[in-house]
Structure 1
């Protein structure tokens, strides 16, 4: 039995990868989305000026763009990981996160504090979704 082929997902509606990885990969009926930070897809510059709420909105916008490019929606997401530089931002991030993932069956999730994120971001989110 051969393994299902892997398919890279790419969209200009989300920031281009800055390293040897894809925005997402389809594999075995699942979608594995790389972590998104608050980069503007058009300019490649950071959004939010250090405001974790503005950063979170951009991160989720980027993630939704990748989901859309793969033919998915936030309702198909089964797992997320939220990376925060400061867990004191948890409530603010959680409130905005709930706007995207708070309808229906919410995804399983981990939230961890990290020492630093790329480009000085305060938040990064990745996810796994089931393909319809």
Structure 2
């Protein structure tokens, strides 16, 4: 198996023992992104801005792997408050075109750095 580590300085550096993404063949496994500004490594303020920052971070890693958000086939969304589900849908519509990826939205008790949203995904390129 040929695993390739994918990194982008346009997305936050890993805050743990993981890679931003791993590519195997034409499949890319995108690690969870939280709303960290890659320049400051600080959490951005405001729920809508946080959702946008997560999508921007995923986009940066997707591009580093030779793809885009449109190449994501499976997206997992983790929310500490599912009342933000509608806002996630609204923001997601700005970043994705049909056909949308398969998706899960999961309510969780907590996320790293106390953020309210995290997303990861699987992308197919080439």
Q: Same fold (TM over 0.5)?
A: yes
2:95 — aligned with what? Answer: 100
2:122 — aligned with what? Answer: 128
Indicate yes or no: 2:56 matched with 1:58: no
User: What SS does the corresponding residue of 1:65 show, helix, strand or coil?
Assistant: helix
Offset from partner CA, 1:41-85 (integer Å, 9 cap, x none): 01100102xx21110000000010000111101111100000000
Q: CA deviation at 1:29?
A: 1.4
Counterpart CA distance in 1 for 2:102 and 2:60 is: 20
The TM-score normalised by the length of structure 2 is 0.97
Indicate if the aligned counterparts of 1:52 and 1:93 stay in contact, CA closer than 8 A.
Answer: no
Counterpart CA distance in 1 for 2:72 and 2:88 is: 18
Counterpart CA distance in 1 for 2:72 and 2:66 is: 12
Structure 1, unaligned runs of 5 or more: none
1:15 — aligned with what? Answer: 12
Bigger Rg, which one: 1
Q: CA RMSD in A?
A: 0.8
The TM-score normalised by the length of structure 1 is 0.92
